[in-house]
Structure 1
Amino acid sequence: MAEISENGPTRLPDHGSVEAVLARLPAGADETVLAAALGEAFPGFAFSAANVDDQYWRDTRSVLAADGTRIAEYRPWMKAELAKDNGDIATVWRRLQDTDLQISEWHGNSVYAFAPTGPGAADYVQISLGRETEWRAGPIVSPSRRPWGEEELLDPSWISHDDMSDDKVLAGPLYRLHGKAGSSVVHVRSFLARYARLERDKREARRPELERRVWVGSDGTRTPFLASQPDYFDFKPREVRFFQDWEESSAREPCLRALGPRHPGLRTQGRA
C-alpha cells in the first residue's frame, strides 16, 4: 500500500477498485458523474475530474460485419487474410474490396481525476484515464488505393478521423484507465518518494567506482571525482525538485486557494 500523508484518508484507490467503479458508470457519463462515483466508492476523498486537450486513437481495432457485429480483432485477422494468399497484398486488397466488411476504432480524450490527501503540494492522488468512443471508421481496405506494403495494410492509413460522427458511434463514451496497473493510479507524494529512493540507490551502487575516479587537469593535477562533485549523492530528480520548489514558493498558497483540490497532472508513464 502506498504511503499517504498523516492527515489523509487511510486507504488509497488502486487499479482494480477504480476499474470496478468505471465498469458501473453509464455510457456517456461526464467528469462530474465520474468524480461523484469515485468519491462515493472511496470515502474521505474529495474527487474532481477534468479533461485535457489530448485526443488520441487507439491502435486496437475490430473487423465489423455490415450489421455492426464484431468479427475479430483487426490486426491478427488481417495477418490471417494475408496468409491465405501467401502474403500477396494486391490479391488480398482486391478480394476484400468485394466485401462489405468495415473497421471499428476507439477515439479518446485524456481525463484526470484527482483528490487531495493532505495539505502539501504533492499530497494528492491522481487517476489517469481516457474517455473513449468506438466508431465505425471505414471500409476494411481502401476502395481506391492499393496498399504497397504489409504494414500499410495492418495499420490502415485510409481511415479519416475527421469523418467521425454520431451516426457512426458503436459504443461509449466509456472511461478506461491509461497505462499499466502501477502507473494509472498514483499517490504523488509516494511516487516522488519512490523515485527519489531509486535514484539514490542507483547512485549509491556506483560509490566504489566513483571513489576510485579522478579528474586529471591539463597541468597533471589529480582531483578525486567526489571532491569535485560533493553533492553527487544528494541529487534529487527534477520531478522532486519541482514539488519542493512549489512548496517553498511564495505563490504556493494563492495557487492552492485558486485551484482548490485541482493539481497539475503528473505523467508518470505513457498511455497503453
Structure 2
Amino acid sequence: MSTPARLPDAASLETVLAGLAPASADADLIPALAAAFPGFVFGLAPIDDDYWRDTRSVLQPDGTRLGELRPWMTAEIAKVGGDIKAVWLRLKETDLQITEWRGSSGFVSAPTGPGAADYIQIALGREIEWRAGPIVNPDYRPWGESELLDPSWPRADQLPDSDRLAGPLYRLLGRAGGAVIHVRSFLDRCGRIERDKREAKRPEMERRVIREVGPDGTRETPFLEAVPGWFDYVPREIRFFQDWEDSSASAQRVFAHWALDIRDYTHKGERDIGFIPRPLKPPKERLLMTPKVSVHLLMDRIEAMDREIELPFGWFFLITHGHWVDPDVGRTIAQGLKAQRVRLPDRDASVLLRWADRTYGF
C-alpha cells in the first residue's frame, strides 16, 4: 500500500469536524473523513475515558444563556465585595442552572502501508453539553471562590437524555501535541531526539567513572566501558513496534488492538516525547504472578488470554503495558524457555528472550 498523496492535517480535520451536524455526527464522521482524505480507510475506536471540559454556561429556566460561568460568577462575587456566603445564599434561591460539556475519547486510525507503524492516528473527543444542575449546591455552603467558579458536585450524577442541550460534537484532543500523528514518522522523531540527547552528553559520559570500593582499594571503571551500549539505546516506543513486527502479533494491525496516548512537548528546555499504549480490548481479568505457580499453568493462562483478546502473543504486549499482565509472568516463561520446559513459536520466543534480557515497560 502506498501512502496517499495528502496526509490529514489538524486544520483540515478541524474543518471536517466542524461541518458535522450533531444529529448525525456519529454516523457521518468516518464517511466525512474518507471524502476529505481520499485513499485512506478510516476506523474509529472509542475509549472508556470520560472527561469534562472547563467550559460552562449560566442558564435561565427558559434556556436563555447569561454567559460563561467563570466571568459571570466573578462579577457576582465582586458585587458583594467577595462575600462567598452572601452569593451562595442569594443564588440558591434562584432557578439559575449551569451547563457542562462531558466528553469521551476516541482514536481514528488508517493504514498508510504494510508495516506495523505505517498508519496515522487521530485523537478525538466526542462531547455533549448537558444541563448539569442548579448554579450552586443548595445543600452545601461553599467556603472558597474556587467552589463557585469550578463546581465539581454535579459530576457524580448520571444525567437524563432530556437534559441534553447540544452535541455530540467531535473535536481534536490536544494531548500535548499528539492529536494527529503518522506513527512511523513519530517513531523516527523519538529515535532522533533520544540520539541527540545522548550525543549532547558525550563529553560528560566520557569523563564519568564508576567507583567500586573493595578489599584491595578503590577501583575506577570508565562508565562507557561498563555500559558500552549507552549510545545505542533504543526507546521503548520503538521497541514496542519492533517486537510487534518480529512476533506472531504482526498478522494483525497495531491500531486494531492499541491506541497510543501521545505526548510531545518541551519543559524547561528539555524535549519530552513518547506514548503510553492503551489496550482497546483489555482482558476481563489481570494475570498476576502468584507464589509457586508453575510455568505450565502460566502457559495455559497466556494462551487463554490470547484467545480472549483475539491476538496471538497479545499477552506479551499487555506485559509491556504494565497493568494487565505481571512482568514476572514474562520473566518466568522466559526462564522456562531457556530451561526447555515450555515452548513458544520461534519468533515469539526470540522477542520474549530479548525483552527478558533488557526489559522495558510503560
Question: What residue in structure 1 maps to residue 235 of structure 2?
Answer: 237
- The residue matched to 1:210 in structure 2 has which SS? helix
- The residue matched to 2:263 in structure 1 has which SS? coil
The equivalent position to 2:110 in structure 1, one of 110, 115, 127, is: 115
CA distance in 1, matches of 2:127, 2:7: 25
Deviation at 1:198, TM superposition (A): 1.0
Is 1:76 the counterpart of 2:71? The answer is yes
The equivalent position to 1:226 in structure 2, one of 213, 224, 227, is: 224
Identity of aligned residues (%): 60
Question: What residue in structure 1 maps to residue 148 of structure 2?
Answer: 153
Deviation at 1:33, TM superposition (A): 2.5
- The residue matched to 1:55 in structure 2 has which SS? strand
Is 1:266 the counterpart of 2:260? The answer is yes
Contact 2:175 2:262 (8 Å CA) reproduced: no
CA distance in 2, matches of 1:241, 1:32: 36
TM-score (norm 1): 0.89
Question: What residue in structure 2 maps to residue 165 of structure 1?
Answer: 160
Deviation at 1:145, TM superposition (A): 1.6
Q: Which moved more, 1:50-59 or 1:197-206?
A: 50-59
The one-letter code matched in structure 1 to 2:136 is: V
Deviation at 1:108, TM superposition (A): 1.2
Question: What residue in structure 1 maps to residue 302 of structure 2?
Answer: none
**Which ranges of structure 1 fall in alignment gaps of 5 or more residues?**
1-5
Structure 1 residues 163 and 137, CA gap change in structure 2 (3 angstroms): same
- Over the aligned positions, Cα root-mean-square deviation in angstroms equals 2.0
Q: As a proportion of its length, which structure holds more helix?
A: 2
Question: What residue in structure 1 maps to residue 247 of structure 2?
Answer: 249
1:80-159 correspondence runs (5 A) = 80-159=75-154
Contact 1:15 1:182 (8 Å CA) reproduced: no
1:138-217 correspondence runs (5 A) = 138-179=133-174, 182-217=177-212
Structure 1 residues 54 and 180, CA gap change in structure 2 (3 angstroms): closer
CA distance in 1, matches of 2:71, 2:144: 16
CA distance in 2, matches of 1:160, 1:208: 53
Deviation at 1:54, TM superposition (A): 1.4
Deviation at 1:31, TM superposition (A): 4.7
Is 1:67 the counterpart of 2:48? The answer is no
Residue by residue over 1:211-233, the C-alpha shift from the partner in whole angstroms, topping out at 9 and shown as x without a partner, is 11111111311111111111111
TM-score (norm 2): 0.68
Deviation at 1:113, TM superposition (A): 0.8
The one-letter code matched in structure 1 to 2:18 is: A
CA distance in 2, matches of 1:181, 1:16: 16
Contact 2:110 2:120 (8 Å CA) reproduced: yes
How many residues in Structure 1 have an aligned counterpart in Structure 2?
Answer: 261
- The residue matched to 1:128 in structure 2 has which SS? strand
The one-letter code matched in structure 2 to 1:69 is: T
CA distance in 2, matches of 1:103, 1:213: 60
CA distance in 2, matches of 1:250, 1:125: 22
Is 1:11 the counterpart of 2:9? The answer is no
Question: What residue in structure 2 maps to residue 48 of structure 1?
Answer: 43
CA distance in 2, matches of 1:74, 1:87: 16
Contact 1:115 1:262 (8 Å CA) reproduced: no
